[in-house]
Structure 1
Amino acid sequence: MNLQLESTEFIVILAMVFISVFILLASLSIPVFGEQRRVKRRLKQRLGEISSASDQPSISSLLRARYLKKLNPLERQFESLPGMEALARLIEQSGGQIMAYKVVVLSLLLGVAGFVLVLLVVNFLPVALAAGIALVLAPYLRLIYLRHKRLMEFEAQLPEAIDIIKRALLTGHPFGESLSLVTEGLEGPVSTEFGITYSDLSYGSDLRRAMLGLLERVPSVTLMAFVTAVLVQKETGGNLAEILENIGTVIRGRFRFQRRVKTLSAEGRLSAWILMLVPFGLFGLIYFTTPGYMETLVRSDRGHQLIMISFVLMLLGAVWIRRLLRIEV
């Protein structure tokens, strides 16, 4: 009986450690580099002014309406629920193909299955709830991670794409054809997104709607600067090739600064990981070497409350460390 009790308590501890590490990874795995909010706000304001000058609906709204028409009535009803459009945009930005309602159903099934399984194994409601919540959030965190990875890959390829567009403009190609050259000359997300923009222009969409559609699909401050420059040049005139050359130089300098910031903050990020993981390692070491030392903490209700409080405090600490390490540039 005591062996079975100790085994159950050990599973409870393992479940708590797993859930805590999962939450801490979700909190600390976000890169320390942050966009400058004032620059983003100013660019968004300028793009909003450009967008409001057109009385035509955006490309994204037209594509969304066309997408809903292709679905059967049940799927159309699910996809029309509140929040599904934003989730579908997140899936698109992450490069996925799955429908939004299927992600919701999958997350709910994972949450319910995890809750029931953990509750049957450890018979401890707080741990079961935490496991269910973690599994419900897992698909969305995965999509956010994939979106961030895809955006980073797009931004890394953007200077080369700008160079291709600049060279095409200098040789006499129109702007739309230069986007086609980017699609042919590069691979990855930048080729896909510029190819979609080229298709928008080829099917009769004007430059403003096509570029704003590109920015909706790729919400990046770096791309926002490129789109703003192109649309402003369309309104005011000027040498677009020279403007793009300057933008490419600025973007490359920005990436060099990002890498320097990441290098300088490496010590702080390593300290954050050590601070967050040492308590778990120390707990496991004491539990295996001198189990009696942890008996009161593991078996008593007050000990369980202290463990849950410590988890919440550690989560708050992880969020605070992330805020300290996140540098605005």
Structure 2
Amino acid sequence: MIANLIYCLFVAVGLYIFHKQTRLKARRESMLRDNNPLPVTRFLENRAVDMEALTQTTLPQRIRRYAENIFAGIGEFAVLKIIAFYFVTASAGVYMLSTLFKVGTLAGLVIVLPLATFLGIRYLDIRAQRAFENHFPDALNMIASSVSAGESLLHAIQFVGQSLDNIVGKEFKIMGERLNMGESTDTVFRKACSRFPTPAFQFFVISMRVNVNRGGQLRHVITRLNRVLFDARSIDMKKRAMTAEARMSAYIVCAIPFFFLFGVMRLLSPENYDFVMNNPEGRPLLYYTLISQAIGMSIITALMRSVK
């Protein structure tokens, strides 16, 4: 039983990572095609900058990048926060597994700790990406205005770093300082992409690299990219507003069985609760409830994400 749970957990995490990388690559290619004037058949062979080259790193470099991004996302007292997070999640997870599946403490820790690590990193990635996407259009407007006023690209980057006091401003400030110290633009942009591997920022970096190496209308490209990001964010907010009622209904329907089992049945009918939780003949009912809820929420999540 425990081995099957661990196997299913790792398979699910692997499939999720593969699906995430596939979607990220598709978004990159879609953004480049939507903003490239060349025909699709000539797109790959005429690409000025290879998108994959911005994120090609070795495994130790990826681990180091993830560790740096995690500690930067946690903020001050990162070690204490990590210890508190693992203590709370391990205690709650082991208690739930021992109650629902009669799993021992050691086996519960083997299941809970990797899952908690994955979910924690995923939460930090989503929070950092949302914060970056919320403030990135402001940086694009500042760069477009500076370039229109006759400032160089270096001065525009430094201006953004001095003006914005958020995650985007800090990154542009680091980029400006490194360019001032004499680092090449390719090195600075590649390091920036390793910290924020989002399609929008990578396309912005490609535009700057092309402008530095070959020249071009940087203001027009930045303005167009800003419009694309604004339209995408508007569509996303509209989609969330249209699906808010359905999502709330799904959450309520998902919570009702657990509320009835651990609240109503435990207080009003202790013998039935004991039959479901502790009797070998009643535990299949519990497993059926958990599996059906997981399948139902997965289907609802997939339907919500498929809304265009």
Q: What is the TM-score with the length of structure 1 in the denominator?
A: 0.67
Pick which of 193-202 and 35-44 moved more. 35-44
Q: CA deviation at 1:86?
A: 5.6
> What is the aligned partner in structure 2 of residue 40 from structure 1?
28
Residues 94 and 150 in structure 1, CA contact (< 8 A), matched pair in contact too: yes
How far apart, in 1, do the equivalents of 2:225 and 2:90 lie? 49
Cα distance change, pair 96–43 in 1 and its aligned pair in 2 (3 A): farther
| Per-residue Cα deviation, 1:10-53 (whole angstroms, up to 9, x for no partner) | xxxxxxxxxxxxxxxxxxxxxxxx9675232456886872675x
Q: 1:227 aligns with which of 200, 205, 217?
A: 205
How far apart, in 2, do the equivalents of 1:87 and 1:217 lie? 8
Residues 110 and 135 in structure 1, CA contact (< 8 A), matched pair in contact too: no
Q: CA deviation at 1:161?
A: 0.6
Q: 1:126 aligns with which of 79, 93, 103?
A: 103
How far apart, in 2, do the equivalents of 1:211 and 1:217 lie? 10
Residues 94 and 108 in structure 2, CA contact (< 8 A), matched pair in contact too: no
Q: CA deviation at 1:188?
A: 1.0
> What is the aligned partner in structure 2 of residue 215 from structure 1?
193
> What is the aligned partner in structure 2 of residue 158 from structure 1?
136
Name stretches of at least 5 consecutive residues in structure 2 with no aligned partner. Answer: 1-21, 33-43
> What is the aligned partner in structure 1 of residue 121 from structure 2?
143
| Per-residue Cα deviation, 1:213-263 (whole angstroms, up to 9, x for no partner) | 212111222212222222233344222122212222222122111111111
What amino acid is the match of 1:218? F
> What is the aligned partner in structure 2 of residue 199 from structure 1?
177
The SS at the match of 1:205 is coil
The SS at the match of 1:204 is coil
Residues 111 and 131 in structure 1, CA contact (< 8 A), matched pair in contact too: no
How far apart, in 2, do the equivalents of 1:160 and 1:189 lie? 12
Cα distance change, pair 318–157 in 1 and its aligned pair in 2 (3 A): same
How far apart, in 1, do the equivalents of 2:90 and 2:122 lie? 22
How far apart, in 1, do the equivalents of 2:230 and 2:96 lie? 49
Name stretches of at least 5 consecutive residues in structure 1 with no aligned partner. Answer: 1-33, 65-79
> What is the aligned partner in structure 2 of residue 243 from structure 1?
221
Q: CA deviation at 1:273?
A: 0.5
Residues 169 and 175 in structure 1, CA contact (< 8 A), matched pair in contact too: yes
> What is the aligned partner in structure 1 of residue 277 from structure 2?
298
Cα distance change, pair 176–305 in 1 and its aligned pair in 2 (3 A): same
**Higher RCO by CA contacts (8 Å cutoff, separation 6 or greater):** 1
Cα distance change, pair 48–231 in 1 and its aligned pair in 2 (3 A): closer
1:285 aligns with 2:248: no
Cα distance change, pair 328–135 in 1 and its aligned pair in 2 (3 A): same
How far apart, in 1, do the equivalents of 2:209 and 2:62 lie? 30
> What is the aligned partner in structure 1 of residue 295 from structure 2?
316
| Per-residue Cα deviation, 1:161-205 (whole angstroms, up to 9, x for no partner) | 111111111222211111111111111100111111112212222
Cα distance change, pair 115–157 in 1 and its aligned pair in 2 (3 A): closer
Cα distance change, pair 303–47 in 1 and its aligned pair in 2 (3 A): farther
CA RMSD of aligned residues (A): 4.0
How far apart, in 2, do the equivalents of 1:48 and 1:274 lie? 48
Cα distance change, pair 84–125 in 1 and its aligned pair in 2 (3 A): farther
Residues 183 and 194 in structure 1, CA contact (< 8 A), matched pair in contact too: yes
Cα distance change, pair 327–49 in 1 and its aligned pair in 2 (3 A): same
Q: What is the TM-score with the length of structure 2 in the denominator?
A: 0.71
Residues 95 and 150 in structure 1, CA contact (< 8 A), matched pair in contact too: no
